[in-house]
Amino acid sequence: MSRLTEAEAVETAASRKYKYGFTTKMEYEEFPRGLNEDIIREISRRKNEPEWMLEFRIKAFHHWLTMEEPDWPNVNYQKPNYDDIIYYSSPKEKPKKESLDEVDPEILATYEKLGIPLHEQKMLQNVAVDAVFDSVSVATTFKKKLAEAGVIFCSISEAIQEHPELVKKYIGSVIPTNDNFFAALNSAVFSDGSFCFVPKGVKCPMELSTYFRINNPDSGQFERTLIIAEEGAEVSYLEGCTAPMFDTNQLHAAVVELVALEDADIKYSTVQNWYPGDENGVGGIFNFVTKRGICKGDRAKISWTQVETGSAVTWKYPSVILKGDNSVGEFYSVALTNDYQQADTGTKMIHLGKNTRSTIISKGISAGKSQNSYRGLVKIGKKADGSRNYSVCDSMLIGSECGAHTFPFIESSNNTSSIEHEATTSKIGEDQIFYLQQRGLDEEQAISLIINGFCKEVFKELPLEFAVEATKLLSIKLEGSVG
């Protein structure tokens, strides 16, 4: 009988390769290490930013200086040395491109390797892609088609130049510069990211997508995303992330702000596969991200779906402020950790308007020696009459050396509202795998089927191609982890 022992299983897991771990040979235009006002002024100057943008950055930097890196997450890591990070890095070729033909072929080849062909003819149908390589947005496809519909989709740098009034009005309106340590840092030094504006009554004609790639070992990535859906507008936005393998840790501190006006609908999906470090926990991305949306108008809806599989340490709570009456917030999450990965992730649903509704479906899968925590807050304000929340937090454990934790917080100041919370913990059992193997499925198929069943409620929220990708990703990540 060939049965994997624990040791063999660990060995198999160790030999598993992080498929995106290659680096692209690029020459970089880099800044000196460390952060001070001069660096910020230089970033802003290089990007030819208006004065108000520089002021925003400087203000954020001064907040940041007074703040401390948070200690409350259930994770342990050596805090980054912020004086040793390069805060701006861009491929040496001039990044502003009119068409894809002008983009450095090395970068295009990188995205091809990642399975994201930027060439329109090969692209997933109806997905417009903005690609951010280290700090700079290198290409936005389908721009023309979107413009015809009145949708603006471009890099945030470009938006600052071309649509300053929109950026000025909304940037920092959901996540203030002093919100938290990492958001303040991002606000001071953000390099690029995506901007999307869907005007009143427009249903965005295609899925929008951004791919983030960190290539440079010493640079942090601080991208900034801002999405605005005006009255009755609809947009679905996808975000994918990968990075090469380095034995040092890279910091990724992004900020994503979503604004949904009356009757608007924003759906934001993430498949995060940053490099998680090796099997001994060396290297990997620190993923410290602030994501928040506001349902500003009545009947607005914001839905977050995330599949978190990468990063050495994850600290991330995509949240929704339900300000408009009858507005809806949703959070669907699969967080998988293996080896020495640590994740502290969840959501905040802040109910302010009347009859607001929120749904939280969180699925945590822990394998190896990893630690996986769900942390959530459901807050019902005084005026939020008739509001409802429904939360489900399920954890699945694989092996006996990992941990799953849940920290659900509930604060209700309104007695006409209702909050429901369900939680389960299960273990992938030998019996479950044997049962499926007895039905002719090999071990890998068996695990993949069980995991898919466990994550089904979340996967069905993803656009089809991404659901397929997420399924594959989870199987690859778990290969060999069940002994």
Partner 1 sequence: MLKIIDLHARVEGEEIEILKGINLEINKGEVHAIMGPNGSGKSTLAKVIAGHPAYEVTSGQVLFEGEDILEMDPDERARLGLFLAFQYPVEVPGVSNSMLIREAVNAVRKERGQEEFDPLEFEDFIIDKLKLVEMDEKFLDRSVNAGFSGGEKKRNEILQLAAMEPRLSLLDETDSGLDIDALRIVSEGINKLRSSENSFMLVTHYQRILNYIKPDKVHVLINGRIAKSGGSELALELEDQGYDWLVGDAHVNGEA
Residue 12 engages partner 1 in binding (rule: CB under 8 A): no
Residue 166 engages partner 1 in binding (rule: CB under 8 A): no
| Helix pair angle (37-46, 51-66), 10° resolution | 150
Q: Which stretch binds partner 1 (CB under 8 A): 46-54, 95-103, 368-376, 437-445?
A: 437-445
Among 112, 457, 465, 469, binds partner 1 (CB under 8 A): 457
Kind plus residue range of the DSSP H or E element containing 473: helix 464-478
Cα–Cα nearest to 384, from 422, 359, 350: 350
If phi over 0 gives left and psi between -120 and 50 gives alpha, with beta otherwise, what is residue 186? alpha
Residue 105 engages partner 1 in binding (rule: CB under 8 A): no
- Which residue number, 241 or 458, has a Cβ lying nearer to partner 1? 458
Residue pair 256/284 in contact (Cβ under 8 Å)? The answer is: no
Q: Which of residues 370-429 bind partner 1 (CB under 8 A)?
A: 429
Kind plus residue range of the DSSP H or E element containing 56: helix 51-66
Q: How many residues bind partner 1 (CB under 8 A)?
A: 27
Q: How far is CA 190 from the centre of its chain?
A: 16
- Which residue number, 107 or 307, has a Cβ lying nearer to partner 1? 307
Residue 230 tokens read as 């005006």
- Residue 359 CB, nearest approach to partner 1 (Å): 17
- Residue 468 CB, nearest approach to partner 1 (Å): 15
- Which residue number, 316 or 363, has a Cβ lying nearer to partner 1? 363
Cα–Cα nearest to 389, from 353, 356, 343: 356
Residue 66 engages partner 1 in binding (rule: CB under 8 A): no
Among 441, 465, 469, 476, binds partner 1 (CB under 8 A): 441
Site string for partner 1, 222-261 (x = CB under 8 A): ----------------------------------------
Cα–Cα nearest to 237, from 334, 326, 318: 318
Residue 125 engages partner 1 in binding (rule: CB under 8 A): no
CA atoms lying within 13 Å on the CB side of residue 40: 22
**Three-class secondary structure of residue 261 per DSSP:** coil
Q: Which stretch binds partner 1 (CB under 8 A): 100-108, 130-138, 332-340, 432-440?
A: 432-440
Q: Any residues with CB less than 8 A from the CB of 427 and at least 6 apart, and which?
A: 396, 397, 398
Among 450, 467, 474, 478, binds partner 1 (CB under 8 A): 450
Query: In the complex, which residues of this chain contact partner 1 (CB under 8 A)?
Result: 1-3, 429-432, 434-443, 445-446, 449-450, 452-457
